[in-house]
Amino acid sequence: MAENRGAIRGLPGRATHLALALGIAALLVLTIEPIYARGRIWIEGILWCCLAVFAWEWIAHLTSAPTVRRKLRYLASPGGLIDTASALAVPSALSFGVSPKSAWLFGAVWLLKLAPEMSGLRQLRRVIVREAGPLASVLAIFLLVLLVASMLVYLAERDEQPDVFGSVPAALWWAVTTLTTTGYGDVVPHTPFGRLIASAVMICGVGIFGLWTGILATGFAAEQRRQNFVKTWEYVRRVPFFSKLGPAAITDVTQMLRRLDLPPRVTIIRKGTAGDCMYFIASGGVDVELPDKRVALGEGDFFGEMALLGANIRNANVVTRQLSTLLVLDLVEFRLLMARHPELAEAIDSEATRRRHENATVTTT
């Protein structure tokens, strides 16, 4: 259902985004008393219109579901819960007697409608799920240090500051602000032992948050590499020279290739320069500018192989004709790949021989 979300809504995505922008702006202006007092009718009118858009969107989803089971599945999905909250939060608050000015603040849930459209949040969710074990371990360390620090500072400071450190729960506030290295300064230890504890807790806080940061950064990097690998895999399978390879061989090829996304009219190769790589066209197209003609290459073709087969000086300019995705194979990886897959070496060598013959014929003519 998430895939057809835009089609099911019954309202263009831009209308929803416009309603969201106007609604959040109206919510902010709502809290500025002088402006709200002068333009109350207009502000609330905008808010009601935005609420109508979100309610219509919610109803459109429900009515488009063909069966009750589909309707319930939609309502239980994250997107359905967000749509339901967006449509019913403000009316529910008004029905329970909350003042209009306060009830409209529940419209802040409209911001959640952006969540399904943000790929970064989906990536963050996958990282947290995959790294749940290490993150939970660091959380356990955080809670342990927090509790131990509260007990120790309670023992050190209870006689000196009984109003602040008179109990372990009371000392928790100091422990939280110190462990997070925030240190508001409203509660500080006075005894030497208490200050020693505070120093140790601050150092532990830096280490704990450093661990969390490292785990998330490593997880994001691994997730990005995984996504890039999947995309490159799909591009590799489109190239005819690789399409007949098995999964293990495609994996081998994918790890050697670099993906390069280029806009139109970008010069990839300049005539007379030294070459150390070849290119496969995964999507889009390029123009090879020979002395007497222009050759158009498209998806599945390759170029630049001559530089890897002995003639390392480029003999033509190559320019992208449109938005193109290229797979780049460097010289070292080229030799390794040819050694592992002789059939590819024969195909590329055969194509290179054919192009040499064509170029020689054109030059002679």
What CATH code is carried by the domain that includes residue 20?
1.20.120.540
Q: What is the dihedral of CA 196, 201, 203, 208, to 10 degrees?
A: 170
144 and 111, same structural domain? no
Most confident of 189-193, 299-303, 309-313: 189-193
267 and 189, same structural domain? no
Give a yes or no: residue 233 inside a domain: no
DSSP 8-state secondary structure symbol assigned to residue 249: H
112 and 9, same structural domain? yes
Q: Supply 34's token pair.
A: 């002088």
How many independent structural domains does the chain possess? 3
320 and 253, same structural domain? yes
Q: Is the pLDDT of residue 145 over 70?
A: yes
Higher per-residue confidence, 22 vs 290: 22
Instruction: Output the pLDDT for position 141.
Output: 94
253 and 192, same structural domain? no
Q: Is the pLDDT of residue 136 over 60?
A: yes
Q: Is the pTM of this model over 0.95?
A: no
Give a yes or no: residue 240 inside a domain: no
Are 138 and 212 in contact by the 8 Å Cβ rule? The answer is: yes
Residue with token string 């006075």: 190
Instruction: Output the pLDDT for position 187.
Output: 85
261 and 348, same structural domain? yes
Instruction: Output the pLDDT for position 7.
Output: 42
Are 314 and 270 in contact by the 8 Å Cβ rule? The answer is: yes
Are 23 and 49 in contact by the 8 Å Cβ rule? The answer is: no
Q: Residues for the chain: how many in total?
A: 365
256 and 173, same structural domain? no
β-sheet bridge partners, residue 274 = 313
Are 149 and 178 in contact by the 8 Å Cβ rule? The answer is: yes
Kindly report, residue by residue over 218-246, the tens digit of the pLDDT: 988 888 888 777 777 777 776 666 666 67
Give a yes or no: residue 231 inside a domain: no
Looking at every residue in the chain, the average pLDDT score rounds to: 82
Residue at a domain's end among 55, 82, 117: 117
- Domain with residue 301: its CATH number is 2.60.120.10
DSSP-based three-state secondary structure for 19? helix
Residue at a domain's end among 68, 88, 117: 117
108 and 162, same structural domain? no
Q: Can you tell me the distance from the alpha carbon of 269 to that of 303, in angstroms, rounded to the nearest whole number?
A: 10
DSSP-based three-state secondary structure for 287? strand
Please, which pLDDT band fits residue 355 given cuts at 50, 70 and 90? Answer: low
Instruction: Output the pLDDT for position 207.
Output: 92
Give a yes or no: residue 287 inside a domain: yes
Give a yes or no: residue 127 inside a domain: no
140 and 45, same structural domain? no
Q: What is the mean pLDDT of residues 161-174?
A: 90
Q: Supply 110's token pair.
A: 């409209």
Residue at a domain's end among 65, 87, 117: 117
**C-alpha pair distances (Å), 314 with each of 110, 120, 293, 305, 325:** 56, 41, 16, 10, 21
Q: Can you tell me the distance from the alpha carbon of 144 to that of 103, in angstroms, rounded to the nearest whole number?
A: 40
For 145-177, the DSSP string reads HHHHHHHHHHHHHTTT-TTTSSSHHHHHHHHHH
Give a yes or no: residue 126 inside a domain: no
258 and 195, same structural domain? no
99 and 178, same structural domain? no
Residue 137: CA atoms inside 13 Å, Cβ hemisphere, count? 5
Instruction: Output the pLDDT for position 8.
Output: 43
For 57-112, the DSSP string reads HHHHHHHH-SSHHHHHHHHHSHHHHHHHHHHHHHHHHHHTT--HHHHGGGGGGGGG
Q: Residue 350: CB partners within 8 Å, gap ≥ 6?
A: none
Parent domain of 105? 5-117
**C-alpha pair distances (Å), 203 with each of 3, 120, 199:** 47, 31, 6
263 and 354, same structural domain? yes
Are 269 and 278 in contact by the 8 Å Cβ rule? The answer is: no
Give a yes or no: residue 237 inside a domain: no
Kindly report, residue by residue over 61-84, the tens digit of the pLDDT: 888 888 888 888 888 888 888 889
Give a yes or no: residue 102 inside a domain: yes
Long-range contacts of 194-200 (CB under 8 A, 24+ apart): 194/153, 194/156, 194/157, 194/160, 197/149, 197/152, 197/153, 197/156, 198/153, 200/149
